[in-house]
Structure formats: structure tokens, C-alpha cells
Amino acid sequence: MKLFYGWVIVGAGIVVTCIGVGAMLSLAIFLQPMSEAMGWSRTGISTAALLNWLCMGVGSFLWGALSDRFGTRAVVLLGGVLLGLGLVTASQAASLGQFQLVFGLIVGLAAGSFYTPMTATTSRWFTRNRSLAVALVSAGLSAGSAIMAPLARWLITSYDWRTAMLVIGDLVWLVVIPAALLVRDPPATAPAAVGAPAGDQARELTVAQALRTPQFAAIALTYFACCAAHSGPIFHMVTHAIDRGVPAMAAATVFSVAGLASLSGKIVCGLVADRVGAKRTLVAGLALQAVAVSLYVFTRGLPSFYALAVMFGFAYGGVMPLYAILVREYFGARIMGTTFGAVAFVSTLGMALGPWAGGSLYDAFGSYFWLFIGSFGIGLGAVAIAFTFRPPRQLPAGLPTPIVVH
């Protein structure tokens, strides 16, 4: 039986997002040792993460548009080269300002070339099992956290933070570039496209039309609030555990447990969304995420950190692939890369806010209490906005097909 190439795309997407985005997210592990070794404040290092997400947001939109025009393989290949270069260069930074510019700008821009283009391409390959396929690609993000966190911690303990970051940059080159060569865009007559629901074609809009709909605004704002709610707790999870008396290596494994739980959340919620719908699954996941964030205020001891990491990881992981499914269902496949890139850009503003806010609040008050309280409130806001989702109205069948400006 011939293997459907869409599953090869899924496999390549898992590898690319795991190593590519996981390398950027490993900054959470570097936070405490870099602060001690270099005398840099947590706010200063967290600012690099803020720049990461801002640049990743801009990159998601630009890379998504480029993938629609030139193909996903070229985009992911170029992103892999750029990401490795950013990490290797950042490992040699002589000042906080240099580190913020190199790690924040180059690494963030490069990381935007992976998740959005690979998700858009995967959604084009599949009609049946689409939610599961997209969830599996998104699971690479969780696998990245689970793999890169202990690897970074071991390298830092065995050598130092500079050597660790240099090795991770080399690993990106060794893994992401070969994986990118496996990526293909689906042919016009791909098997998955045959028998696609008629509504898919009826819902095809231009980019300009999609970006002006209230539905786009609702999805983008929900994604923003969702990411703003969980980004701070994720980034400061390890340092918070260390502050509570958890040993450094054990704290890194808490991060890995959250990543593994996130992976399971993506797969489970992808399966559930295929059966009950992406919106219902999203609302439930966002509510669980808000509750989990609030519980960090009361967490003490390694066992409770592990338990909460499972709950929190499952929640924030489960909701992440659902936004791509909603964009695909609401706005069609033809402009998926650009439209989802625009949604992802808004979401990364939320991802940028959390780490910086957490570092600032810690430096101001000496604890993460207000980070978790604020994140809980924002998480409830995400639930409220998600309830407003409505599919966009279909274009009248008699109207001529509008010209698409790429």
C-alpha cells in the first residue's frame, strides 16, 4: 500500500517545529544561568523573548505570504539556515544589548518560518483527518519543549550557557535543513483534495476580504488573549519552580512534562475537534487553561509542579492547533498561508507580552504572583471572545471571482 505523502509532510512538520521553535523556546532554560553568569536582569533577558515573539509574528505573516507564492520548502529551508546563524551568533554576544538584538531579532524572525507555513501546507494536503494532521504538526512545538529543555540544561551544567547555545544552533542546521528538503506543496489534483466539501469553495475569499471580516478579528483577538495568558507562565515556569526550592535540573524536567502534556493535548483535542467541532473544543480548552494558570499561585513542591504542568500543558497545547483549523474552515485553503500568518502575527504580540511582563513584575515585586493573577484574567477574556465565533457569510454564487492580490 502506497504511503500518502501528506503523512510525510506531517512527519517533516513535526521535526521542523520541534527543533526549530524548540530552539527559540529554550531561552526559558537559559534565563537563570545567564542572569547569574552575566549579571543581566531577568527583565533584560526576557526582553529578548519579547523581541522573539514580535519578530516571529512579523515573520509568520511574511513567511506565510512567501510560502503561498514560492512554496513552503524554500521558506523552511531559508528559515533553518537563518535560525542556526542567529543562535551561533547569539552564543558569542558580549553585552545584553547585543544578545537582545541577535537572539531577539534573528532567531525570532527565523522561527516564524516554520509553524505557520508548515501548518498551512499540511491543511492543504488533507481533507479527511485534517484536524489530526494539523494537531500532529503542532505537536512538534510541544516535543521541542520536552526535548530541548533537558538538552539545554544538561549542556549548561556540563559546559556553560555559551557552549550550550552554540551546540543548539549547530543542531538546527543538522536537522532542520535536511527535513526541509522533504517538504512539498500538494499537487492541484492531490487525492486529499478530491471530494472536498462544496462549502470549502463557496467560502473562498480574497485576503483583503478575509482580513476585514469580524470573524477574522474575533479569531485573532482570541488567539492574542490565549497566548498572552499562557506565555508568561510558560516562560517563567522553570525559574518560578527554582524560586520555590525545586533543584534546577528537576525544574527543567517540569518544563519537559508540560511539553509532553501539551503534545498529548494537541493530539486529543485534534481528534475531539474532528468529531464535535473546533469551536466547542477551543472554548473548553481555554477555560481549562485559565483555571490551570490560577493554580500556580498555590503550587508548592515538585510533585504539585508536575501535576499542574500536566494540566496546564494539556490545556495550552490542546488549543493551539485549533486556530489553524478555524481559519481553514472559515476562509478556505487558497489563502491559508497569508490569512493564518496574519492571525499568528496578532497572537505573537500576546506571546511577546507575557515573558516581558513576568520579568518586570518579578523585578518589581519579588515574585510571580501578579503574573499569574493577570494571566488568569486574560485567559477568561479569551473564553468570552471565543463564544462570539461565527462563520463568515458565503460570497453570492452569481458574483464574478474576485482578483486575488498576492
d(CA 147, CA 144): 5
Residue-level length of the chain: 406
At 1 the pLDDT is 59
Q: Are 94 and 101 in contact (CB under 8 A)?
A: no
Mean of pLDDT values over 170-188: 90
DSSP 396: P
What string of DSSP letters covers 361-394? HHHHHSSSHHHHHHHHHHHHHHHHHHTT--PPPP
Q: Are 122 and 150 in contact (CB under 8 A)?
A: no
DSSP H helices in 71-206: 72-90, 96-101, 108-111, 115-125, 130-158, 161-180, 198-202
DSSP 213: S
Identify the three-state secondary structure at position 227. Answer: helix
Residue 2 has pLDDT above 80, yes or no: no
Cβ-proximal residues to 305 (8 Å cutoff; 6+ apart), any chain: 241, 244, 246, 251, 254, 299
Q: Are 232 and 354 in contact (CB under 8 A)?
A: yes
Q: Are 347 and 44 in contact (CB under 8 A)?
A: no
Rounded to two decimals, the pTM is: 0.68
Dump pLDDT digits (tens) for 343-365.
Answer: 888 888 888 888 888 888 988 88
At 394 the pLDDT is 53
d(CA 82, CA 332): 30
List the grid coordinates of 192.
Answer: 486529499
d(CA 185, CA 208): 23
- For the chain, the average pLDDT equals 85
Q: How many CA atoms within 13 Å lie on the side-chain side of 72?
A: 29
Q: Are 290 and 380 in contact (CB under 8 A)?
A: yes
Q: Which residue has the higher pLDDT, 267 or 197?
A: 267
Q: Are 355 and 48 in contact (CB under 8 A)?
A: no
Dump pLDDT digits (tens) for 43-81.
Answer: 888 888 888 888 887 887 788 778 878 888 999 999 999
Q: Are 75 and 95 in contact (CB under 8 A)?
A: no
pLDDT band at 199 (very low <50, low <70, confident <90, very high): very low
Q: Which of 239, 341, 228 is CA-nearest to residue 289? A: 228
Residue 247 has pLDDT above 80, yes or no: yes
CB atoms closer than 10 angstroms to residue 384? 12
Q: Kindly report the CA angle at 106 between 103 and 110, in degrees rounded to 5?
A: 115
Residue 404 has pLDDT above 50, yes or no: no
Q: Are 170 and 190 in contact (CB under 8 A)?
A: no
Backbone φ/ψ region at 53: left (φ over 0), alpha (ψ -120 to 50), beta: alpha
Q: Is the dihedral of CA 20, 313, 137, 280 positive or negative?
A: negative
Structural domains of the chain sorted by starting position, each given as residue range(s) with its CATH number in brackets = 5-184+200-386 (1.20.1250.20)
- Which helix (H) or strand (E) covers residue 216, if one does? helix 214-235
Q: Are 313 and 262 in contact (CB under 8 A)?
A: yes
Q: Are 368 and 88 in contact (CB under 8 A)?
A: no
d(CA 32, CA 16): 27
Residue 332 has pLDDT above 80, yes or no: no
